Amino acid sequence: MRTIWRLRTGRRELLGRAALGGIGLALGGTPGILRAQAPAVVVSERMRIKVPYGVQVGDLSGDRAILWAKADREARMIVEWATTESMKDARTVIGPNVAEDTDFCAKLDLSGLPAGQTIFYRVSFLDLSDYKTKSEPVTGRFRTPPAGRRAIRFLWSGDTAGQGYGINPEFGGMRIYEAMRRLEPDFFIHSGDTVYVDNPIPAERKLPDGSIWKNVTIEEKQKVAETLREFRMNYAYNLMDENVRRFNAEVPMLAQWDDHEVTNNWYWEQRLDKDQRYKEGSVAVLAARAMKAFHDYMPTRRHPLEQDRIYASFRYGPALEVFRIDMRSYRGANGDGLETVLAPESRILGERQVRWLKQALLASDATWKVIASDMPLGLIVWDDWRNKRGAEAVAQGDHGAPKGRELEIAELLRFIRDNRIKNVVWLTADVHYTAAHYYDPNKAAFQDFAPFWEFVSGPLNAGSFGPNELDRTFGPQVVFQKAPPEGQSNLPPSAGLQFFGQVDIDGASEVMTVRLRDLDGNTLFTKELVAET
């Protein structure tokens, strides 16, 4: 039986009920197991306003955080917050009015938060049509960065609902999000491919062993996304999952984008005229719509001068600063990457972002400087994987002196070394397996850098691939990896090869412990890093 949900976000066709007042999935009697509810029904406009996708917190830094929620019609966001669960003496902040221009999504930049406190909050919406009816409140909590030393825990991973693997109630939905939530992290870095707008979600998918993977799906996930609504509904689809909503209510997110928010391996000049799935051939047009949808549905803080900029730094107490970079928006076209002189077409970060990153790293006095990268540095990711041609990521695949996009990374690594910027760690995803890499200049073709670690994790709920070959330009060494067995690829989440990473920083010693974990939260690999002074 096909299970296709038709979701309507307009004023006249409201969403069905769920645990958070939302869409057709709720927890059954067994924790983490989802069951389908009755299809959405048309209800009266005078019915109480709904908040269908719960709440999200993001871009947490210092005394500020973005609170996100979505109403189902024109409304005004109202936020109450306190440092006690009873909400006694709660403060009320009037948020923005929402309308169709953001698909009724609201974001409030909450400031003046006390350091090192658990913040309890609830979000409701005032119906603007009668200016008196409010939605039921949706609640959540998060912890603010400390003013002084204390233990810190955060997670990272990427790649949600890819390769046609969506919300499978028989599997427990996107249950890796529940495994992450149980670790009670301070925040989470989503390292890109937050949605797969170019990967439709069928109601059923036959697996190699003959079994069937069954998805709950929606009309807008039956094709590749081209319209603004289709892009938006990819985010809405992921938020149908109870595990995801519960995780979002408790764990602040630093969200990145990569390629599948637009289309596979995209760059601005690309055209899709030969891809019969698309009526719109311009990737630039699709990217503009995709970026709008991302910012509507993700708890991101918009830059006052560059509306589609996501690169930024986030300070979390004296021990940690996270630098979120963007390897997608400023790149040149994918090609063979044989340039030996740095030029616009060979960039992957872009001149302005590189300048910002250098200045931000140089100015940081945090003990640990984590670069959150949507793509790995040394793993070879081919644009044309069948013929092993064209660079999609940084590595060019020739194992020699830096060329193409490697030139920009070489410049950055040399800057970090020459300015004695210590304790830099790279965290990434993209390749759909997990690994720990040590970059050793003594084993590299390019040696003008200080040794560093790169940790890879993912996917969250997508097909499993890998492992990829390493390019020796920067001397990466495989210390650990777990990927599908040789000859197997695109394995379903039920194969168990879904991964996330955990980072703990000790409050007293500031030792950083990195763990790579699997679908159920089991630890696969552990590495302790002692900070240089």
Rounded CA-CA distance 435/455 in Å is 6
Residue 384 has pLDDT above 90, yes or no: no
pLDDT of residue 307: 84
Other beta carbons within 10 Å of 303: 12
Instruction: Calculate Rg over the CA atoms of the chain.
Output: 22
- For residue 508, CA distances in Å to 115, 156, 285, 364, 528 come to 18, 23, 50, 20, 15
Once rounded to an integer, what is the mean pLDDT over residues 313-330? 97
φ and ψ at residue 129, rounded to 5 degrees: -70, -30
pLDDT digits (tens, 9 = 90+) for 220-258: 999 999 999 999 999 999 999 999 999 999 999 999 999
pLDDT of 320 strictly over 70: yes
pLDDT for 450-507, tens place per residue? 999 999 999 999 999 999 999 999 999 999 999 999 989 999 999 999 999 999 999 9
Question: pLDDT higher for 389 or 160?
Answer: 160
Q: Taking phi first (over 0 means left), then psi (-120 to 50 degrees means alpha), and beta for anything else, what does residue 399 get?
A: left
CB atoms inside a 10 Å sphere around CB 226: 19
Tokens of residue 533, six digits? 């002074």
391 pLDDT band, cuts 50/70/90, is: confident
What is the average pLDDT value for the chain, to the nearest integer?
Answer: 91
User: How confident is the model over 7-23, as pLDDT tens digits?
Assistant: 544 433 333 333 333 33
Q: Could you tell me the pLDDT band of residue 5, with boundaries at 50, 70 and 90?
A: low
Domain spanning 152-529: CATH superfamily: Alkaline phosphatase D (PhoD) (3.60.21.70)
CA angle centred on 372, ends 368 and 375, rounded to 5°: 140
Pairing relationship of beta strands 25-27 and 34-36 according to DSSP bridges: antiparallel
- Per-residue model confidence (pLDDT) at position 46: 57
Q: What is the percent of the chain with per-residue pLDDT over 90, rounded to a whole number?
A: 86
Between CA 240 and CA 201 the distance in angstroms is 13
SS3 244: helix
Phi and psi based region of residue 521 (left: phi greater than 0; alpha: psi -120 to 50; beta: remaining)? left
DSSP label at 134? B
- Going by pLDDT thresholds of 50, 70 and 90, the confidence category of residue 37 is very low
- Give the pLDDT mean for 112-130: 97
Q: Are 425 and 511 in contact (CB under 8 A)?
A: no
pLDDT of residue 249: 98
What is the pTM assigned to this prediction?
0.92
Secondary structure (3-state) at 248? helix
| Tokens, residue 171 | 């599997």
Tell how many helices (H) and how many strands (E) occur in the chain: 6, 28
> What Cα–Cα distance (Å) separates residue 485 from each residue in 464, 471, 489?
10, 21, 8
Answer yes or no: are the C-beta atoms of 405 and 446 closer than 8 Å: no
Rounded distance, CA 104 to CA 457, Å?
33
Q: Judge whether 107 and 97 are in contact, CB under 8 Å.
A: no
Q: Looking at the domain that runs over 4-143, which CATH code has it been given?
A: 2.60.40.380
Residue 44 has a pLDDT of 52
Least confident of 41-45, 203-207, 312-316, 418-422: 41-45
The domains of the chain are located at 4-143, 152-529
Q: What pLDDT digit, counting tens, does each position of 123-148 carry? A: 999 999 999 999 999 999 999 999 99
Share of the chain above pLDDT 70, in %: 91
Instruction: Give residue 219's pLDDT.
Output: 96
Distance of CA 482 to the CA centre of its chain: 21
**pLDDT classification of 342: cutoffs 50, 70, 90:** very high
- Cα 293 versus chain centre, distance: 14
Interval 302-314: pLDDT, tens: 998 888 999 999 9
Lowest-pLDDT range of 339-343, 429-433, 434-438: 339-343
Residue 367, pLDDT > 90, answer yes
> Could you give the dihedral angle defined by the CA atoms of residues 28, 490, 263 and 382, in that order, rounded to the nearest 10 degrees?
150
